[in-house]
């Protein structure tokens, strides 16, 4: 069916002038050089046997810390406008750490690639804890230090990456660092990260920075059936994944009475919500796939590499009839259009311009036609959202390089560029050449 966004095999339609094209990475997943910084919660977690599936650590990863010039050359060859990377708080706390980001930013600017740093992508210093409110204040101090050093060249900032996943996987289910299984007692971790975000927005503005956003993970939630129990379970999951992290920022309130469960209760968080709702200049969305959710089934559920406990008030079901990535995630490009139009309808003028800060897939191989098909479908789906009037300003592929995929270790490859973890040789995949050509055609 031909649509305004074209069909696979035909040229991708034009995006508006000034649309920002980029790729993303994160510090812990690519930098290595773990002995040249203080420890993070991820170092402690990966040291525990059985935590990471292939038993690996990120001690070396892609060794980007020492090979960043080569990686910036890959970015320049790709022709992206912008590069989203993360600044490691443990590295900034260590001698010479900020110098590294200084060199990286200079190298990017010299190559004509805009640096877009994320200030927290899950690698919390090991001596800190998001269960403690004070961590939010410590974060704002660290953000001021980074802004003071890089703010003369960085014009676009991201406070946090996916506080939802960090809360859920790291503190509720225990499959990511720091490995806690608190279930709903993990909610203060969400609140403290959101507070940290708001304080960071203020700290960045105080340092003269503009163009500030966040990278939140979102996806459509599909009820397993029209039955009331399934619809209610899906709504609840939507609150946890989407609304809990969007609404404090965009509306200044917690959804569905969740404020009651936050530290200090609804009255206690009221003044924090004013900080959390400090207006952002844009809103970043990481999209991978929708989730199909039904009523609890009273059994453990295995889903996308996770085991969800039986006592949760919902169950995650398979989305059938779709191709899946090597991770087992369904490929649903139109979920991106649905998500974006749904956000626009839900939040109206409260939703600032949107950037897709991550989108990508794990597949093996250098001739990665399946990755090309995934990205092609999602970029067209994004164009449909634009055509439907959603104000989207940019798109970042996850990821530039194959990298340390958290609890999956090196088993999942998300890169446009293959990394041989023995030799650290980088080899652009077919998808790298394809994305380069897509970008050239947009100029
Ligand atoms: C995270 C990345 C991760 C990617 C693929 C996102 O949730 O921000 O760090 O590698 O998804 O799992």
Residue 261 belongs to a domain with what CATH number? 3.20.20.80
Residue 334 reports pLDDT greater than 70: yes
Confidence grade of residue 1 (pLDDT, cut at 50, 70, 90): very low
Number of domains in the chain: 1
> Among residues 107, 162, 338, 405, which one is catalytic?
162
If you measure from the C-alpha of residue 102 to the centroid of ligand 1, how many angstroms do you get, rounded to a whole number? Answer: 25
* Residue 122, domain member (yes or no): yes
Q: Mean pLDDT, to the nearest integer, of 77-92?
A: 98
* Residue 172, domain member (yes or no): yes
Ligand 1 pocket mutation pick from 85, 159, 304, 398 by most atoms within 8 angstroms of CB? 398
Dihedral in degrees, nearest 10, Cα atoms 328, 331, 335, 336? 100
pLDDT for res 301: 77
Q: Which residues line ligand 1 (CB under 6 A)?
A: 26, 29, 161-162, 165, 217, 286, 358, 398, 405, 414
Work out the number of other CB atoms within 10 angstroms of the CB of residue 205. 15
Confidence grade of residue 3 (pLDDT, cut at 50, 70, 90): very low
Give Cα 227 to chain centroid, integer Å.
32
Alpha carbon nearest to ligand 1 atom 9, residue: 26
Residue 2 reports pLDDT greater than 70: no
* Residue 299, domain member (yes or no): yes
Torsion sign across C-alpha atoms 238, 244, 245, 246: positive
* Residue 260, domain member (yes or no): yes
Residues 6+ apart with CB under 8 A from 437: none
The model's pLDDT over 69-80, given as tens digits with 9 standing for 90+, comes to 999 999 999 999
Q: Mean pLDDT, to the nearest integer, of 339-351?
A: 98
Dihedral in degrees, nearest 10, Cα atoms 347, 348, 354, 356? 50
**pTM of the predicted structure, to 2 decimals:** 0.97
pLDDT for res 341: 98
With 0-12 / 13-18 / 19 or more C-beta atoms within 10 angstroms meaning exposed / middle / buried, residue 78 is buried
Is residue 180 within 8 Å of residue 169, measured between CB atoms?
A: no
Q: How many CA atoms lie within 13 A of 146 on its CB side?
A: 34
* Residue 428, domain member (yes or no): yes
Which domain does 256 fall in, by range? 20-442
Q: Mean pLDDT, to the nearest integer, of 27-55?
A: 98
pLDDT for res 4: 52
* Residue 11, domain member (yes or no): no
Residue 355 reports pLDDT greater than 50: yes
If you measure from the C-alpha of residue 268 to the centroid of ligand 1, how many angstroms do you get, rounded to a whole number? Answer: 32
* Residue 5, domain member (yes or no): no
Of 98, 281, 272, nearest in space to 193 by CA: 272
Q: Mean pLDDT, to the nearest integer, of 173-191?
A: 96
* Residue 305, domain member (yes or no): yes
């Amino acid at each position: 069916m031909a649509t305004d966004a074209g069909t696979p095999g035909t040229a991708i339609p034009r995006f508006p002038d000034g649309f920002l094209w980029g790729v993303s990475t994160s510090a812990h997943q690519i930098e290595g050089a773990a002995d040249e910084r203080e420890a993070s919660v991820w170092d402690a977690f990966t040291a525990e046997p059985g935590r990471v599936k292939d038993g690996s650590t990120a001690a070396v990863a892609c060794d980007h810390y020492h090979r960043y010039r080569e990686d910036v050359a890959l970015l320049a060859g790709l022709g992206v406008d912008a590069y989203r990377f993360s600044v490691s708080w443990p590295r900034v706390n260590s001698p010479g750490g900020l110098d590294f980001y200084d060199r990286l930013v200079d190298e990017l600017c010299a190559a004509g690639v805009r640096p877009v740093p994320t200030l927290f992508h899950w690698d919390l210093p090991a001596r800190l804890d998001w269960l403690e409110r004070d961590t939010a204040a410590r974060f704002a101090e660290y953000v001021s230090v980074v802004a003071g050093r890089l703010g003369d060249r960085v014009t676009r900032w991201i406070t946090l990456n996916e506080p939802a996943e960090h809360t859920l996987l790291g503190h509720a289910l225990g499959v990511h660092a720091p490995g806690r299984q608190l279930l709903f007692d993990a909610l203060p971790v969400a609140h403290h990260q959101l507070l940290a975000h708001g304080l960071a927005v203020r700290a960045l503005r105080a340092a003269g920075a503009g163009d500030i956003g966040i990278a939140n993970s979102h996806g459509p939630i599909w009820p397993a059936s029209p039955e009331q129990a399934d619809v209610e379970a899906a709504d609840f999951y939507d609150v946890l994944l989407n609304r809990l992290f969007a609404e404090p920022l965009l509306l200044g309130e917690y959804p569905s009475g969740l404020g009651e469960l936050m530290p200090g209760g609804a009255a206690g968080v009221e003044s924090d919500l004013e900080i959390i709702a400090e207006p952002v200049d844009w809103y970043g969305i990481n999209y991978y796939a929708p989730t199909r959710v039904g009523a609890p089934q009273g059994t453990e559920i295995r889903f996308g590499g996770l085991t969800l406990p039986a006592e949760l008030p919902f169950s995650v079901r398979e989305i059938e009839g779709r191709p899946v990535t090597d991770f087992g995630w369904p490929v649903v490009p139109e979920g991106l259009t649905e998500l974006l139009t749904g956000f626009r309808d839900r939040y109206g003028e409260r939703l600032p311009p949107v950037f897709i800060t991550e989108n990508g897939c794990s597949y093996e191989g250098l001739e990665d036609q399946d990755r090309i098909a995934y990205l092609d479908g999602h970029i067209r789906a994004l164009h449909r959202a634009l055509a439907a009037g959603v104000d989207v300003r940019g798109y970042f592929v996850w990821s530039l390089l194959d990298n340390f995929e958290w609890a999956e270790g090196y088993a999942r490859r998300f890169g446009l560029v293959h990394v041989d973890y023995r030799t650290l040789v980088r080899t652009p995949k077919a998808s790298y050449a394809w994305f380069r050509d897509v970008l050239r055609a947009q100029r």
